[in-house]
Structure 1
Amino acid sequence: MVRPKTGIRAAAAGFAALLLTACGGSTAESDPYQWLEEVSGPRVDAWVSAENAKTLGVLEQDPRYADNFAQAKALANASDRLPVPEFHDGMIGNFWQDAEHQRGVWRETTVADYESPQPAWRTVLDLDALARDEGKNWVWKGMRCDPVSHSRCLVQLSDGGEDAVTVREFDLGTGKFVDGGFVLDRGKQNVSWEDADTLLVSREWQPGEKTTSGYAYVVKRLRRGQSPDQAVEVARGAATDALATAAVSLDNGDGRRLNLVVRRPSFYESQVGLISGTRVALPSKSVLQGMVGNRVLVALQQDWDTGGKSFKSGSLISLDADELTAHPDRLTATLVYEPGPQETLNEVMTTHGHVVATSLYDVKGRATVYTPQPDGGWTSTPVPLPDNATISGIDADSHGEAAYLSVTSMLTPSTIWSLDANSGRVSQLKTAPARFDSSRLAVEQLMATSPDGTKVPYFIVHPAALPYDGSTPTILYAYGGFASSVTPSYNGLLGKSWLEHGGAYVIANIRGGGEYGPAWHDAALKTHRQRAFDDFAAVAQDLVARKITSPRRLGIQGGSNGGLLMGVELTQHPELFNAVDIQVPLLDMLRYERIAAGASWVGEYGSVSNPDERAFLASISPYAQVKKGVKYPEPLVWTTTKDDRVGPQHARKFAARLAEYGDPYLFYEATQGGHGAGANNDEKAHTSALEYTYFMRRLMG
């Protein structure tokens, strides 16, 4: 984050103020709460502590809080939760947290044992023991194993849940960190194996050598035994890039690897190149998805003409790896998948010889196996899975043909299905237990109409005997950004803490998301973002018009970009809602580029350096648009100190502005958790209990 420097002479201070104003920022004089942008310090810490005490004094003292917290903890730590599998060299790995393992353990078993009713896990790495020994609040951020032995893995650990990680080489066989192995100190970094003894690393090699949004743009080759200062540069982006420049290694599971470098000048643009530095002539809006045999898979987010063929935005295509490396400037592509008008590609997994892709049709899940043919084409085989459900890919074995998929819906507990991509056989493997009584509940998909005539779908779960008199307490959730699709899923805590109490819950598939492909997202980019806000308000108004609920009984919820949505709805439609749950939000849109990783999202929101975009941002920024004398519903605004992505600054400043205007609000800041609700299950349960207690107070009386 860039802030005005302190302790400078008056003339220099005046020039800095002029520069900030010209760039669209604000000075300390015009923004009295800019001091809350300091992540930590005596004054800030005292303010946060006092605000937390007020909020916890209200919510934790509510008679419903104790039950909400107990339920949240019990469900988060339940021993019969589904263990999510990851393939690792013929074994199944799983990261697991429970009451005895707050920070978690990485554990392994065989495929056959995992598929048995009660797997016998072997603990490989105990994060609680490691954190205790090292005096750190380690949070698991995943690992990546080398392409040769598959047993040497780069473990990524975060202190408190932040995006910045420490990377250490770990031996799965011995269960120990490798003496003299690779170690990369804390930072926002990207690491890929080039071979068993070589890494391709992008990180802040020298102080300040990062983009304006805090990401690395220099890639170096680091060989075993070298210190980081001996690494040799292989690629470089620019400090003005929105995101990182990083190496990407594609592996077909048969020993063939393709090492590429991807530069991200903006959030939705990428430049792919060979390690040699030669640019690959892929369209800027495309994403590498994996490799099957000799075929490189690419998802397109724009129309593309190449080799005499035209491909539609939203398609999945394949390229010959040998041709790509020999003639990166002349690419011949083959179609794998093309979406219909109500479809979008969701996820891509690769087995040794097949592609397993999930997609959405009218926001309902599908899965398909794609098989390469000798003539260069592909055939498709639908996977027979339950209809009207959310279908997600879990993992696939790049050395075999097995894949795991998840199937869920609002009233159906999650199930894990095993797929043999070669034969097409699929079977239900594991089912999570029911967490609440769903016998008196119903689910519908309904449509609202936005002011410009666009039909906006939404899912609602509600009592089957809905009175249609506006009396049902209802929570409306949406995200609406970054092409992220929000689909229905089973939530045991929602069921126990809300649905069993007679409440309803709604998921709105507003524009800005990816539910209907790239065009659905692009419709709400930058100065067109009001469409997403209008879509959300239209769903709220539709719920009231149908007499499902009423403004007195309607609450809304959203996080991150969805937190911005909540702030906008609070300021634009305070009459529509009686509760607003604003989670880890962006709220000061005139300074978001200067806070945490905000500069990376200019492709989504626009920039204050552009006059038209600045004017729009000023018109919707909740921090700028909250007004004196307006009756707002009391919001719950919460964040975490360790959030180094969006940052806690937005939530703090918004709460301070509400306090200045005498408006009611509740503010809470967890000390740990990164861009989320907590660093472990108990911390997440605490935050969830605060939220449900808040909604009960506001909507259930």
Structure 2
Amino acid sequence: MSDSTTDPRLWLEDVTGEKQLDWVRARNDRTVDAYTRTDDFTTLESRIREILDTDARIPYARRRGRYLYNYWRDAEHVRGLWRRTTLDQYVLDDPEWDVLVDLDAVAAEEGENWVWSGAQVLRPDQNRALISLSRGGADATVVREFDLVTRRFVSGADSFELPEAKTDISWIDVDTVFVGTDFGAGSLTDSGYPRIAKRWRRGTPITDAETVFEGETTDVAVGAGYDNTPGYERSFVDRAIDFYAAYQYELKPDGTLVKLDVPDDARVSVYRDHMLVRPRSEWLGYPAGSLLATDYPSFLEGSRDMTVLFTPDEHTSLEQYTWTQNHLLMVTLRDVQTRMRVLTPGHDGWTDEDLDGLPDATTTSVIDVDPREGDDFFLNSSGFTTPATLLSGTIGQPLEAIKQAPSFFDSGDITVTQHFATSDDGTQIPYFVVGRNVAGSSAVGSNTETPSPTLLYGYGGFENSMVPAYSGGVGRAWLERGNTYVIANIRGGGEYGPTWHTQALKANRHKVFEDFAAVAKDLVARGVTTTEQLGVQGGSNGGLLMGVMLTRYPQLFGAIVCQVPLLDMKRYHLLLAGASWMAEYGDPDNPDEWQFLSKYSPYQNTDPDAAYPPILITTSTRDDRVHPGHARKMVALLEEQGHEVWYYENIEGGHGGAADNAQAAFKSALTFTFLAEKL
């Protein structure tokens, strides 16, 4: 067991020290030599890279008025192109794209390892943009203003340009922005995000920007934004006091703040005169996870007259909702399978209708709307064996499939079934099984009794739902070999609404681990796989899950892949963005909360005498969200204790672990090669 106060491996938390990077390179070399020096690896890496680079992918776009904007990477454009086209062109098989930024050319000219982090286009003129660029894929970005007419970055004292920081910036008008960034000492929260929101006017130094709000250093972040809906222009301030709770205000033109009288943990949005509230705990007699609508001006005057748009039940939760110009699109999950509805406000109340024409047995989500322009929308739909389809729609008209992703593996005899495992407290935990003739499955064609190598994936945190989706990489690297793939919908996620998540916070975190272990046991009990053939994988919060599986349930697995993980729960709140997650996990400095954290923190619970399955731990030097020290220290400790541990740290790549398609393909091929050998 490791005591953080006298931890001899703290030196590995120095991210870019030469001694530390030499330690990393030595372990990288060992792993590369063991798993990547074969023709099979090279072939697999090439086949995964082909998926990532192919021009046959769907070029997903954001519609903003007359233009649709897309960011595109392929084999020729490694860093990518930011480009736009018109709707008439976009629906064609081979649209004509107007390239705005060639990031490969910019990076070469400037000698920087730029990774694209996004762009905000000024509405309605669309003649300027705020572009965020990351060095090596980190969360911290450089912000630069771009002229969409001259196709050049704007520089000098008259531009909106900011150095590297975790910046929050948004347009008010062509000469004004709201900005939160590193303004100097005391301007960031303990989590490393902006504590101060300012209004910055063109032609003035950032030091003269007008402060509109200040939070506390213990907050997660503070931000300000501008609603540019014609006729309803308003400014709002959001003060996130923890990861789930926030104080929300309307910022009046005279600088006064009007606090919205809603629960701190509610999700609130205002569109025109409509205010939507999704409480995460019971409020005014309405259950957690419901969706409520009210008249915003009346609410500010004291009215609490609510219209219930959605009420959850034990099988159904609200996954997504978004406005078109005149309607509300709603996506629900029923036992982790999507349905869609159209809700419409009117003088006589709201109407509620099904959205027809969705593909069967797929997960569908709204990927873009532009409520300034009309009731058009784009949907994306895919399933475990069904490649993505891009659907275009207008409320009241039939859906049209305008683009179809190619199939990257033969799914003809692959079946998908859903099952439920019983967790320690009796809760039924759903999971999906994907494979060819899976033993123990009730699917048609599942006529074999031979268990197969199986990869079980899990996350279980932050109310993120793990829904069915197509993965060409999983198909080529795993399913084509006759193996089985499983997704576990454990608590901590959002598959059954906020309560599915809140059941597993802080002292109840053990439920996440018990749920995942229950699925693993059920897979073996039903004959889908054996303990020796069962591998597990997870990243970030899922990496913490993998660490607990290693130290608490090692007897259940044949191999573990642990990616960009949290592992030292004694110090996680002191590293990078870790302080922002204390609402999820607890405060290690609080003795009462450390009591439950200490029972599962992987770094503090390794056992030199235990029989652990082989584990591959991966991370990124440039990950400025989850500190790479978690992974480094755990590897060093496991090595000292004599366990089989493999390590790979990408020197760039951010929290996603890869800065470009080549790195992503290498990482994926390494993972599946390790699993194939061990299972």
Q: What's the TM-score bracket when you normalise by the shorter of the two chains?
A: over 0.9
Structure 1 match to 2:147: 171
For 1:121-520, list aligned pairs within 5 A: 121-179=97-155, 180-241=158-219, 243-252=220-229, 254-275=230-251, 276-289=256-269, 291=271, 293-305=272-284, 310-323=285-298, 327=300, 332-398=305-371, 399-421=373-395, 423-464=396-437, 466=439, 469=449, 471-520=451-500
Structure 1 match to 2:622: 642
Structure 1 match to 2:45: 69
- 2:575 maps to which of 586, 595, 599: 595
Structure 2 match to 1:79: 55
| C-alpha deviation, 1:163, in angstroms | 0.6
| C-alpha deviation, 1:631, in angstroms | 1.2
Q: Please give the secondary structure, in 2, of the residue aligned with 1:304.
A: coil
Q: Please give the secondary structure, in 2, of the residue aligned with 1:278.
A: strand
**Measured at CA, do residues 250 and 296 of structure 1 come closer, stay the same or move farther in structure 2, by a change above 3 Å?**
farther
Structure 1 match to 2:541: 561
Find the aligned partners of 2:448 and 2:517 in 1 and give their Cα distance: 20
Q: Which amino acid aligns with 1:203?
A: T
Instruction: State whether structure 2 residue 645 is matched by structure 1 residue 665.
Output: yes
| C-alpha deviation, 1:367, in angstroms | 1.6
Instruction: State whether structure 2 residue 500 is matched by structure 1 residue 523.
Output: no
**Measured at CA, do residues 329 and 50 of structure 1 come closer, stay the same or move farther in structure 2, by a change above 3 Å?**
farther
- 1:619 maps to which of 594, 599, 605: 599
Q: Check the 8 A contact 1:280/1:328 in 2, yes or no.
A: no
Q: Check the 8 A contact 1:285/1:302 in 2, yes or no.
A: yes
Structure 2 match to 1:679: 659
Find the aligned partners of 1:616 and 1:514 in 2 and give their Cα distance: 23
Q: Which amino acid aligns with 1:315?
A: S
Q: Please give the secondary structure, in 2, of the residue aligned with 1:688.
A: helix
| C-alpha deviation, 1:332, in angstroms | 4.4
Structure 1 segments unaligned to the other structure (5+ residues): 1-24
Q: Please give the secondary structure, in 2, of the residue aligned with 1:597.
A: helix
| C-alpha deviation, 1:331, in angstroms | 5.1
Q: Check the 8 A contact 2:4/2:570 in 1, yes or no.
A: no
**Measured at CA, do residues 330 and 218 of structure 1 come closer, stay the same or move farther in structure 2, by a change above 3 Å?**
farther
Find the aligned partners of 2:215 and 2:537 in 1 and give their Cα distance: 38
Q: Which amino acid aligns with 1:474?
A: T
Find the aligned partners of 2:117 and 2:663 in 1 and give their Cα distance: 17
Find the aligned partners of 2:600 and 2:639 in 1 and give their Cα distance: 20
Structure 2 segments unaligned to the other structure (5+ residues): 440-446
The CA RMSD over aligned residues, in Å, is 1.8
| C-alpha deviation, 1:338, in angstroms | 2.6
Q: Please give the secondary structure, in 2, of the residue aligned with 1:311.
A: coil
Find the aligned partners of 1:329 and 1:602 in 2 and give their Cα distance: 33
Q: Please give the secondary structure, in 2, of the residue aligned with 1:589.
A: coil
Q: Which amino acid aligns with 2:622?
A: K
**Measured at CA, do residues 592 and 468 of structure 1 come closer, stay the same or move farther in structure 2, by a change above 3 Å?**
farther
Q: Which amino acid aligns with 2:100?
A: V
**Measured at CA, do residues 229 and 331 of structure 1 come closer, stay the same or move farther in structure 2, by a change above 3 Å?**
farther
**Measured at CA, do residues 397 and 139 of structure 1 come closer, stay the same or move farther in structure 2, by a change above 3 Å?**
same
Between 1:147-156 and 1:509-518, the stretch displaced more is 147-156
Q: Check the 8 A contact 1:526/1:603 in 2, yes or no.
A: yes
Residues 124-147 of structure 1, C-alpha deviations (whole Å, 9 max, x = no match): 111111111111111111112223
Q: Please give the secondary structure, in 2, of the residue aligned with 1:266.
A: coil
**Measured at CA, do residues 378 and 199 of structure 1 come closer, stay the same or move farther in structure 2, by a change above 3 Å?**
farther
Q: Which amino acid aligns with 2:386?
A: T
Q: Check the 8 A contact 1:485/1:509 in 2, yes or no.
A: yes
Q: Which amino acid aligns with 2:553?
A: H
**Measured at CA, do residues 332 and 192 of structure 1 come closer, stay the same or move farther in structure 2, by a change above 3 Å?**
farther
Q: Which amino acid aligns with 1:106?
A: W
Find the aligned partners of 1:153 and 1:533 in 2 and give their Cα distance: 44
Q: Which amino acid aligns with 2:226?
A: S
Residues 475-514 of structure 1, C-alpha deviations (whole Å, 9 max, x = no match): 0001000000001111111111111111100000000000
Structure 2 match to 1:22: none
Q: Check the 8 A contact 1:213/1:597 in 2, yes or no.
A: yes
Q: Which amino acid aligns with 2:40?
A: R
How many pairs are equivalent?
Answer: 665
**Measured at CA, do residues 255 and 683 of structure 1 come closer, stay the same or move farther in structure 2, by a change above 3 Å?**
farther
Q: Check the 8 A contact 1:290/1:350 in 2, yes or no.
A: no
| C-alpha deviation, 1:67, in angstroms | 1.2
| C-alpha deviation, 1:389, in angstroms | 1.7
| C-alpha deviation, 1:26, in angstroms | 8.5
Q: Which amino acid aligns with 2:33?
A: G
Q: Please give the secondary structure, in 2, of the residue aligned with 1:587.
A: coil
| C-alpha deviation, 1:349, in angstroms | 2.3
| C-alpha deviation, 1:317, in angstroms | 2.5
Q: Which amino acid aligns with 2:477?
A: S
Structure 1 match to 2:562: 582
Q: Check the 8 A contact 1:279/1:328 in 2, yes or no.
A: no
**Measured at CA, do residues 278 and 132 of structure 1 come closer, stay the same or move farther in structure 2, by a change above 3 Å?**
same
| C-alpha deviation, 1:382, in angstroms | 3.0
Find the aligned partners of 1:240 and 1:156 in 2 and give their Cα distance: 26
Q: Please give the secondary structure, in 2, of the residue aligned with 1:543.
A: helix
Q: Please give the secondary structure, in 2, of the residue aligned with 1:414.
A: strand
Q: Which amino acid aligns with 2:527?
A: K
Q: Which amino acid aligns with 2:393?
A: L
| C-alpha deviation, 1:470, in angstroms | 5.5
**Measured at CA, do residues 465 and 524 of structure 1 come closer, stay the same or move farther in structure 2, by a change above 3 Å?**
closer
Between 1:232-241 and 1:194-203, the stretch displaced more is 194-203
Q: Which amino acid aligns with 1:244?
A: A
Residues 622-678 of structure 1, C-alpha deviations (whole Å, 9 max, x = no match): 111110111111100000001000111100000000011011110010011100130
Q: How much identity, in percent, do the aligned residues show?
A: 41
Q: Which amino acid aligns with 1:114?
A: Y
Q: Check the 8 A contact 2:35/2:674 in 1, yes or no.
A: yes
Q: Check the 8 A contact 1:440/1:465 in 2, yes or no.
A: no
Find the aligned partners of 2:451 and 2:307 in 1 and give their Cα distance: 54
Instruction: State whether structure 2 residue 518 is matched by structure 1 residue 542.
Output: no
Q: Check the 8 A contact 2:3/2:604 in 1, yes or no.
A: no
Structure 2 match to 1:54: 30
Find the aligned partners of 1:468 and 1:31 in 2 and give their Cα distance: 51
Find the aligned partners of 2:5 and 2:330 in 1 and give their Cα distance: 53
Q: Check the 8 A contact 1:404/1:419 in 2, yes or no.
A: yes
Q: Which amino acid aligns with 1:314?
A: G
Residues 255-304 of structure 1, C-alpha deviations (whole Å, 9 max, x = no match): 5222100001111101001222221212111223452x422333322222
Find the aligned partners of 1:663 and 1:329 in 2 and give their Cα distance: 62
| C-alpha deviation, 1:341, in angstroms | 2.6
Q: Please give the secondary structure, in 1, of the residue aligned with 2:636.
A: helix
Find the aligned partners of 2:356 and 2:210 in 1 and give their Cα distance: 46
Q: Check the 8 A contact 2:621/2:651 in 1, yes or no.
A: yes
Q: Check the 8 A contact 1:389/1:409 in 2, yes or no.
A: yes
